[in-house]
Chain A
Amino acid sequence: MTTRAEFFARIRTEMRKTSGLFAARAAERPRDASRLVETVRRELAERWPQTIERFRVEFERVGGVFHRVTHVAAVPGLVAAIARERSLRTVVAWHPTALGTDLGGPLAREGLDVRAMPWGPVEDAERQGFRTIVANADLGLTGADLAVAETGSIVLRSGPGRPRSTSLLPACHVAVFDRTRLVESLAQVGVFLEAWHEGPSAFGANVSIITGPSRTADIELTLTRGVHGPKEVHAVFVDEEIGG
């Protein structure tokens, strides 16, 4: 079997034979991404009304359903309405700490069967139990780490209280967020990704950039939704700052 040393020795031997096709440089990384993120946030803070409008347009263009409410208190009623319209009953949600607010109680009062994802470490035996719960749930409720206006995308980091399956297994995914999550462009997403990498990681091993509901056109190029991932993605934008 090829060892690491052998592999790299061969690469270096070949590399020595050529200087390449033309002068080229890789991208310049931001020197202090965390500081740059703060600058980006400050600039965006003023433009958020235009940014959310742009997000709405792009989000709907990729098949997302956009909602907007003024106060956090309105969110449970809205989610319940979404669920009722589709005859959905069971909800799995990020842990309140991850969501920034506790929606479990209010949702239960709306008649929904809600399970919050656990925060702390979980025994292996329990892990399977949670998987079954999420696999059988009708609706997955998450926050959003970023909402990208350029592409209508929602960026989710995995981690304690915010497992990946919440936004993946249930057929309906609802993401709730406020203006502090908005960014305009993919380039800005890059700055955040660099900053997240720099910082201490209380988060998980996965970042997902989600742009609309699951889709395929593999059969005769006919577009169908909900192949493996959710059939519907909803964005609920809250004017007031959540947890603020």
Chain B
Amino acid sequence: MHRFTLCLCAVTLAACEPPISVVKFTTWGEEYIEQGIPTKMGMEAGFEDGWAVTFTKFLVILKDVTVADGQGQVASKQPGAKAFDLVKKGPVEVYAASAPAKRYDKVGYAIAPDDNAEATNIEASDLALLKSRKASVIVVGSATKGGVTKAFDWSFTNATGYEDCERAEMGGKGVVLTVGQETTVQLTVHGDHFFYDQLGGDANLRFEAMANADANGDNRVTLDELAVVQLTSLPQGQYGTASVANVRNLRDFVTQNVRTIGHYDGEGECVPRSR
């Protein structure tokens, strides 16, 4: 078929639509979600304040993976939604799109609740949990410092679109589909973003304020407990809200941070928009 197409091009000397190719979108939570986020050691990134975090569940619903050209012409869009547990070994396939082999500048996806999300590598009970909580993201895990361990089980209902994704390198806009090759693009989820201490500017990873939010001392930090902690009670220079309105407490803050967990091919970025 491809040979025929090429021959036709040669005969007519005209521009031809390129042959169909495939781009496979996968998702991965990287070592931070699969193995945990360590304490900062020298040049090695990690928590500034001595804490370390591990996840036992990192449930996320991915949907609306879209491939479009520079003019916004959609070549392929993921039907439905899929739920993943990113603590399990990845990467895991999300969606395989077929489209003519050429450059697509606009690629995006969404992390959003969906009552009809399908299971992938996720336990049925966890999928039910996502649906019952109307959640897009559920993180379950614990933070440790010295002999102290604080557990957390947080659900978020944010619906966030990640648009105009770019890889973290030159010319990394969108994706280029090539003839005869299957292209793989990773929708990377950054688990450490929950613990950023700034909504704008340079941020560090911190858990101390969250650990201190455990008001009842049961070593479980709930979102309700985080909601009690006003940012004004925290040191200046930490938990700055920048341009985000109505962020008053740690629950608001971590909920806002959820919007930035979606990335593209590792360190690549997308434009996050509330849905």
Chains A and B bind each other: no
